Amino acid sequence: MTLTPLIIAARRKDLGGFSVSRILPYKKRRMVGPFIFIDEMGPATMEPGERMDVRPHPHIHLATVTYLFDGEMDHRDSLGTFQTIRPGAINLMTAGQGIVHSERTPAHLTDQTFTLHGMQIWIALPPESERIAPAFDHYPATELPVHQENGVKKSTLMGQFWQMESPVKTYSPTVYAALESEGLHTEELKHLPAELGVYVVAGAVLYNDEEYAAGQMLVFEPSPEDTLTLHFSPGAKVMFLGGEPLGERHIWWNFVSSDPEAIAQAKADWLAGRFPQVPEDIEFIPLPEDWHSV
């Protein structure tokens, strides 16, 4: 049976001099599995003297996942964590009841020209995990399962995919994977999650005689017996994101929760300075007066 996907076209957003392609949230699709927020960062050419400086800001009731294709980022958080993330690694920050973090260009790159490109996503936590203690986990690229054959590289970043299982912590059934193809390639996907997004980072994907270009995501809701056949162009780079749906979530600025009262409390706490601080980083992003997710 041919599945009919919902097509989401990424919208370009300027985050104060740094551009991202925002895929989720989307007005016709708020979540895909546990994924509630998906940005493709860049690709951006950073000239000498240019930096990405995301000042300290708070999160609740979610986990952030950072994955880079190119460049480097320094992560700092209110747990005292300092971690430089590099291509192929996974940074997993679990906000739980509340955390504050910043993301900045490493000092050694400020006098160089470099490319910054990657995925920044948020995963909603199931209700029983929303108020757990905050945590940070870093997984170097060498710890993540990768299979390379005939010019095709498959990486399982979270969960189980392509008969590979990632060591990255998950809180609900989650799939996060990447495929890169040097030449033409056809892939038959089986044992699919209940919801699956296929996001084209580069090149193109052909499905059911329709071609989908970079910046588009196909969202499927397959049955357990379904097989998904995708054709990839030379130079294709594609992300797979999905899992079991978690139910309705509320989102306001950097706060996600199944309970709107928790978001109201988080707003009040940030205004009043009750969130923990990032050591050695006294800057912060003020609570916006108005915010719209799409």
Count CB atoms within 10 A of the CB of residue 149: 7
Other C-beta atoms closer than 10 Å to the C-beta of 66 total: 20
Report how far apart, in Å, the C-alpha atoms of 235 and of each of 214, 215, 238 are.
11, 15, 10
Looking at residue 141, its pLDDT comes to 97
> Given this model, what pLDDT does residue 289 score?
85
Q: What is the pLDDT at residue 150?
A: 95
Look at residues 112, 102, 39, 45 and name the one whose alpha carbon lies nearest to residue 73: 102
Which residue, among 138, 150, 175, 196, has the nearest Cα to 3 in the 3D structure?
Answer: 196
- Across the chain, which has 294 residues, the per-10-residue mean pLDDT values are 91 79 94 98 90 93 98 97 97 98 93 94 98 98 97 98 97 98 97 97 97 98 94 98 96 96 97 95 89 59
Spatial distance between the Cα atoms of 200 and 204, rounded to a whole number of angstroms: 7
- Category of 152 on φ-ψ map: left (φ > 0), alpha (ψ -120 to 50) or beta: beta
Give the model's pLDDT for residue 51.
Answer: 84
DSSP per-residue string spanning 157-194: EESEETTEE--S--SSSEEEEEEEESS-EEEEE-S--S
Structural element, H or E, at residue 137: strand 135-139
